[in-house]
Structure 1
Amino acid sequence: MARTALDGVDVAVLIAPEGAEQVELTVPWDAIRDAGGRPRLISTTGGRVQAFDHLDRADTFTVDTTVHQVTAHDFDALLLPGGVANPDYLRTHERAVAFVREFFDTGRPVAAICHAPWILIEAGVVRGRTLTSYPSLRTDLVNAGATWVDREVVVSTEGPSTLITSRNPKDLPAFTKAIVEEFAVKTTA
């Protein structure tokens, strides 16, 4: 069998118990899996998590493990789906914020879409970086020391960790392409 881009790459996908935008979870998840990667769903509690389609409840997903049971060292990369409630909850959870910060402290690549950069602000990892997000986060990111740009995908290499960001679900094709490319480069180097 031919080797694929992310063979053997373990990716943590961090979401809150409720509030993740389903398409921002499932489309990157499928792209990672299709490229040979192993995505694992991480949350603040075990059991099942509730995804949303904008403001409507969508599907539920089984949590693989919690942020209390793992560290960044257990993974090669991190994916942060958006949705308004998802990162808003995670940025108030001390262990979730520490888990995100560990990926930057250890030089592992991170991808965040839509409202997910809120948790990056809380983790203190955006200063000096160029990134994008849902437009309503622009002021928050600039106030936290980031340079905000309006592009479908931005790959920031201004620190030890590569950071991939996108604005919204319309950007998912570019976002997933960048995730596979950058996770492959950073985890197989």
Structure 2
Amino acid sequence: MSKVLILATDGFEQSELMKPKANLEDAGIQTEIVSLEKGEIKGWKDKNWGDSVKVDKTVDEIASCEGYDALLLPGGQMNPDILRMNDQAVKIVKMFAKTNKPIAAICHAPWLLAEAGLIQGKTVTSWPSIRTDLENAGAKVVDQEVVADGNLITSRKPEDIPAFSKALIDAVGAKANKSEMATA
């Protein structure tokens, strides 16, 4: 069974974690929440704190991306800003890139892609307020519902979640099919 690591911390945009997580699980893909500390992390919804989700592992417990088929980076303004300041969180993003596994980032989460040095020469999209940051990191930024460039999948906002989820599910399915064929 395929598995997606969801990297998040307090202040994640609630819909951008919960809805893709549910869509992945509905498609038969396991998910695992990884954060900076054990316990629970709290979402952000409608300009206030939202629901909490249980943390399955901490970033310090992730030594490789073996056993995972993709990485999901939910947005929200606080969440990716905090994560990009954590060396181990950035290292996890780089591990997924190094193994060419799909990395899906929505809203403000492409900040993590920039911090990891992954977007130079890539076409991406994001929430409007960080587009200049992404351009300054060398990306070509477009205003589209979902953009796939190599192993990177990016979207702009909660309304893009259906297309974002489909792109990630398709990428995980393609990756899973390749590894199944390799072992057959």
Instruction: Tell me the TM-score normalised to structure 2 length.
Output: 0.94
Q: CA deviation at 1:76?
A: 1.1
Aligned residues: 177
Over residues 124-165 of structure 1, what are the superposed CA-to-partner deviations in whole Å (9 max), with x where a residue is unaligned?
1111110100011111111101100000000112xxxx1111
Residue matched to 1:106: 99
Secondary structure of 1:72's aligned partner: coil
Does the Cα contact within 8 Å between 1:11 and 1:77 map onto a contact in 2? yes
Q: CA deviation at 1:107?
A: 1.1
**Unpaired segments of 5 or more residues in structure 2?**
179-184
> Displaced runs of 4+ in structure 1, greater than 2 A?
none
**Quick one: which amino acid aligns to residue 55 of structure 1?**
K
- Counterparts of 1:13 and 1:78, CA distance in 2: 6
Residue matched to 1:148: 141
- Counterparts of 2:116 and 2:47, CA distance in 1: 26
**Unpaired segments of 5 or more residues in structure 1?**
1-7
- Counterparts of 1:36 and 1:74, CA distance in 2: 16
Does the Cα contact within 8 Å between 1:15 and 1:86 map onto a contact in 2? yes
- Counterparts of 1:165 and 1:172, CA distance in 2: 10
Residue matched to 1:34: 26
Residue matched to 1:178: 167
For residues 73-112 of structure 1, what are the structure 2 equivalents within 5 Å?
A: 73-112=66-105
Residue matched to 1:58: 50
Cα RMSD, aligned residues only: 0.9
Identity %: 46
Q: CA deviation at 1:72?
A: 1.4
Secondary structure of 2:60's aligned partner: coil
- Counterparts of 1:74 and 1:119, CA distance in 2: 22
**Quick one: which amino acid aligns to residue 128 of structure 2?**
P
**Quick one: which amino acid aligns to residue 136 of structure 1?**
S
**Quick one: which amino acid aligns to residue 109 of structure 1?**
P
Does the Cα contact within 8 Å between 1:21 and 1:54 map onto a contact in 2? no
- Counterparts of 1:46 and 1:185, CA distance in 2: 32
Instruction: Tell me the TM-score normalised to structure 1 length.
Output: 0.91
